[in-house]
């Protein structure tokens, strides 16, 4: 069995943070001191992150997060990997931990019933159950649960605008799902607010279902927000549901168009990827400023002179923060 020395962590936690800016600096510093990379969002409503690092460094990180009483019940999804899944570290202070148009909803006060992967597997095919994908088009285009309902949305913030299309399902048990569970916390609460009575959510999302139940009946791959782009979930009855955007042959290779002016997220087979130089169209291929294609279709944003301490407040230098941190 291949030894994979790194871990990739996917997690979120809705919890009140009184001073997000101050906690962001503390959190950022811990990640720097433990060689972690990834994208972490901190707001007054909690934490949301995807982090990569050596297994032992990720263990320290999980202990650090859960040792704070505010985040003690954080559920980490841990996947083994052969290297970092990110090139850099970004810890940002934002208004929400997932961008939505439902800021009034507090999942600590109201949300759908959490279903374990095992319970979800038992319920999903029952006659009075509807499985609802709350992710965006480019995510469910490459993979989704068998017979799941998908919504035509480009961003999660558009979810409330589509709920009227589900009115005929109010007498059903509705189970929402997403990648790791975070979007379902607000999506399921919003459904309850709109008069749906039996609302559930897959706890831990697609990733946890794949880890604990083998991913049965998840068709295609799961889109993820790191340099892997899409990962295998189903070890029981895997299939491919997406087609190459260029030649329409079955393909689940997710690619970001090499033209940064376009940046379309689509499936492109390996042959077309090289032929089109990572672009989705001839127009994009002729873009003189298109990014060089290396066969992956993943492009790290340019950051000349990348400084991992970037983001610390101007009032407090990184050196001062370290001095404060170490007493």
Q: What is the pLDDT of residues 86-97, one digit of tens each?
A: 989 999 999 999
pLDDT higher than threshold 80 for residue 75: yes
**Which pLDDT does position 311 carry in this prediction?**
54
For the question of residue 178 being annotated catalytic, the response is yes
* Structural contact between residues 224 and 256, judged by C-beta atoms closer than 8 angstroms: no
- Domain boundary assignment for the chain: 6-97, 113-222, 242-299
Choose between 274 and 306: higher pLDDT.
274
pLDDT higher than threshold 80 for residue 16: yes
pLDDT higher than threshold 70 for residue 106: yes
CATH class of domain segment(s) 113-222: alpha beta
**Which pLDDT does position 22 carry in this prediction?**
93
**Which pLDDT does position 3 carry in this prediction?**
86
**Which pLDDT does position 306 carry in this prediction?**
42
Strands (E), the chain: 6-14, 37-43, 46-54, 77-81, 89-93, 113-115, 129-133, 143-145, 173-177, 199-202, 218-220, 222-223, 230-231, 254-256, 265-267
Q: What is the pLDDT of residues 122-145, one digit of tens each?
A: 999 999 999 999 999 999 999 999
Catalytic residue among 13, 31, 58, 178: 178
CATH 3.30.70.100 assigned to domain 6-97? The reply is yes
């Amino acid at each position: 069995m291949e030894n994979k020395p790194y871990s990739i962590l996917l997690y979120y936690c809705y919890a009140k943070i009184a001073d997000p800016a101050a906690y962001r600096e503390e959190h950022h510093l811990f990640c720097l001191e433990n060689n972690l990379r990834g994208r972490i969002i901190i707001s007054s409503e909690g934490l949301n992150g995807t982090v990569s690092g050596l297994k032992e460094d990720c263990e320290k990180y999980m202990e650090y997060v859960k040792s704070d009483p505010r985040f003690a019940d954080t559920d980490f999804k841990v996947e083994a990997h052969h290297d970092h899944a990110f090139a850099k570290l970004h810890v940002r202070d934002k208004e929400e931990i997932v961008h939505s148009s439902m800021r009034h909803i507090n999942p600590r006060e109201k949300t759908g019933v959490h279903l374990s992967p095992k319970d979800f597997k038992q319920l999903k095919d029952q006659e009075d159950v509807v499985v609802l994908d709350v992710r965006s088009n480019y995510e469910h285009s490459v993979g989704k649960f068998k017979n799941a309902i998908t919504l035509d949305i480009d961003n999660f913030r558009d979810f409330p605008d589509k709920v009227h299309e589900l009115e005929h399902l109010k007498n059903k048990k509705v189970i929402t799902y997403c990648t790791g569970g975070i979007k379902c916390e607000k999506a399921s609460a919003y459904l309850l607010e709109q008069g749906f009575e039996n609302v559930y959510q897959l706890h831990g999302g697609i990733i946890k279902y794949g880890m604990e139940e083998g991913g049965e009946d998840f068709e295609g791959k799961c889109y993820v927000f790191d340099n892997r782009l899409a990962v295998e979930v189903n070890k029981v009855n895997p299939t491919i549901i997406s087609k190459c955007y260029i030649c329409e042959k079955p393909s689940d290779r997710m690619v970001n168009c090499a033209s940064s002016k376009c940046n379309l997220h689509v499936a492109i087979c390996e042959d077309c990827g090289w032929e089109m130089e990572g672009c989705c169209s001839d127009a994009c291929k002729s873009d003189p400023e298109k990014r060089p294609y290396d066969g992956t279709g993943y492009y790290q944003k340019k950051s000349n002179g990348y400084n991992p301490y970037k983001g610390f407040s101007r009032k407090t230098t990184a050196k001062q923060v370290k001095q404060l941190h170490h007493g």
